[in-house]
Amino acid sequence: MRYRRMPIEVESPEQLGYSTITNNLSESSVSDRRLSDLGLDLDIDDLLLCYGDHLGDPALREAIVAASGGEPSGLGPEHVLVTPGAAAALFCVATALVGPGEHLVVQRTNYATNLETPRAIGADLTTIDLAYDGGFRLDVDAVAAAVRPGTTRLISVTTPHNPTGVCLESADLHRLVEIAESSGAVLLVDETYRDLTHNPAGPPPIAATLSPRVVSVASMSKAYGLPGLRVGWAVTSSPELGELLLAAKEQIVICGATLDEHIAGRVLAARGRILPPIVADVRRRLETVRTWMAGQDTFEWVEPAGGVVGFVRFRDGVQVDTESFYARLLADFGTYVGPGHWFESSDRSFRLGFGWPTHDELAAGLAALSACAAGG
């Protein structure tokens, strides 16, 4: 592995220092929660801090299946591998399936790790770029053309997507599954934002319900505001793939943190109480951004269909020195966003996170973007 730090991590708000930012519009989750916010009435003094089940706490895995819309299609707790965050699940998938020189197809822009880990492995990447003018819809024909039957190891997509918030259309997802099945590749679907789908009907079942060639990844970080728990998971109905991912996890951490997994299991078991107010709040925030967006003519976006981030860009014709814009936005307006280079894109675009700040900070941050662009 050839590791190097990614700009999104080097320049992350926690590394910069939260105290240096007033309006933090750079985050990709809902507001972080305290244990006391969750109403769990935890009594954990007797919790045995043993090496736990290597797949993950059984109660947590049951809760993950129940939350995945998976039971009707035969997914069970034995198909779930709990990992330290979705990040570790993605790392297990990439390192277990792709070796140096081996081929994969990855959507770009993307959550940076989905591109960087294959590069660190020394894999042969074909990137399929998302285009603003295409509404950031994945070009599945381009994926089909890039896949080398019998050779391509992995097809990697994210839905709802980070940083655009765009969701894969059902027909596109089904085509990707067919491409994976006919070519022998594994389809990785990073569904870390699934619980924050804006469609009032809620999200479809996880993609791993569609085929044993699919691995679905998600975590407690984004929708529940619990990134400090470091609990994520990978789900696949393929016993061989599951065994391979378990081998990867065992070499990295053996098992997960007993305490984190216990708490995550309790949160997910109370999902029916904890999640709906979060989802309702996210929709109010989306409305705030929608109203701001409609009232100015400097920026534009493809409105997200899920998650708490969108990829905003300066409209064509708007003259801007992006380096000085982001520097002034922070220094003069206390406002921080995720510039395009975090996502291998032009800095004329930036990720706007609307789930994490308070409502007042969100409004102030949006006003700051307008004022800073106006040179105020």
Minimal distance in Å, beta carbon 115 to ligand PLP?
12
Rounded to whole angstroms, the Cα distance separating 136 from 127 reads: 14
**Is 211 an interacting residue with respect to ligand PLP (CB under 6 A)?**
no
Q: Judged by CB under 6 A, does residue 24 bind ligand PLP?
A: no
Is position 28 an interface residue for ligand PLP (rule: CB under 6 A)? yes
Integer CA distances (angstroms), 294 to 289, 291, 359, in order:
9, 5, 18
Which amino acid is residue 370, in one-letter code? S
Q: How far is the CB of 100 from ligand PLP (least distance, A)?
A: 23
* Chain residue at closest Cβ approach to ligand PLP: 85
**What's the min distance (Å) between Cβ of 163 and ligand PLP?**
8
Closest separation in Å from C-beta 370 to ligand PLP: 26
Task: Specify the DSSP element, H or E, that contains 80.
Answer: strand 80-83
Where do the DSSP E strands lie in 220-329? 232-235, 299-301, 309-314
Which residue lies nearer to ligand PLP by CB, 21 or 87? Answer: 87
Which class for 62: exposed (0-12), middle (13-18), buried (19 or more C-beta within 10 A)?
middle
Residue 10: both structure tokens together? 């080097």
Bridge pairing between strands 103-108 and 154-158: parallel
The residue among 57 and 190 lying less far from ligand PLP, judged by its C-beta, is 190
Q: Which is nearer to ligand PLP, 223 or 368 (CB)?
A: 223
* Member of 162, 183, 197, 237 binding ligand PLP (CB under 6 A): 162
Smaller CB separation from ligand PLP, 190 or 261: 190
Answer for which of 26, 109, 192, 216 binds ligand PLP (CB under 6 A) is: 192
- Residue 232 makes contact with ligand PLP by CB under 6 A: yes
Q: Inter-axis angle of helices 258-269 and 58-66, to 10 degrees?
A: 30
221 binds ligand PLP (CB under 6 A): yes
Of the candidate residues 26, 68, 158, 237, the single one contacting ligand PLP (CB under 6 A): 158
Nearest CB to ligand PLP, comparing residues 95 and 162: 162
Size, binding site for ligand PLP by CB under 6 A: 13
Q: Which of 118, 227, 242, 306 binds ligand PLP (CB under 6 A)?
A: 227
The helix or strand, by DSSP H or E, that contains position 219, with its residue range, turns out to be strand 214-219
Tokens of 39: 């109403």
Nearest-angstrom CA–CA distance, 211 and 216: 11
Each residue 262-301 as x (binds ligand PLP by CB under 6 A) or -, in order, gives ----------------------------------------
The verdict on 236 binding ligand PLP (CB under 6 A) reads: no
Distance (Å, whole) CA 361 – CA 24: 7
**In angstroms, what is the minimal distance from the CB of 195 to ligand PLP?**
12
How many CB atoms are located within 10 Å of the residue 49 CB?
10
Residue 164 touching ligand PLP (CB under 6 A): no
Stretch 59-118 residues interacting with ligand PLP (CB under 6 A): 85-87, 111
Q: How far is the CB of 216 from ligand PLP (least distance, A)?
A: 12
**Whether the Cβ atoms of residue 301 and residue 312 lie closer than 8 Å to each other:** yes
Helix axes 112-121, 85-97, angle to 10 degrees: 40
- The number of helix segments (H) and strand segments (E) in the chain equals 12, 13
Task: Examine residue 195 and tell whether it contacts ligand PLP (CB under 6 A).
Answer: no
Measured from the Cβ of residue 255, the count of other Cβ atoms closer than 10 Å reads 17
CB 216 within 8 A of CB 191: yes
From candidates 190, 195, 260, 261, binder to ligand PLP by CB under 6 A: 190
Burial of 315 (0-12, 13-18, 19+ CB in 10 A): exposed
Q: Note the residues at the interface with ligand PLP (CB under 6 A).
A: 28, 85-87, 111, 158, 162, 190, 192, 219, 221, 227, 232
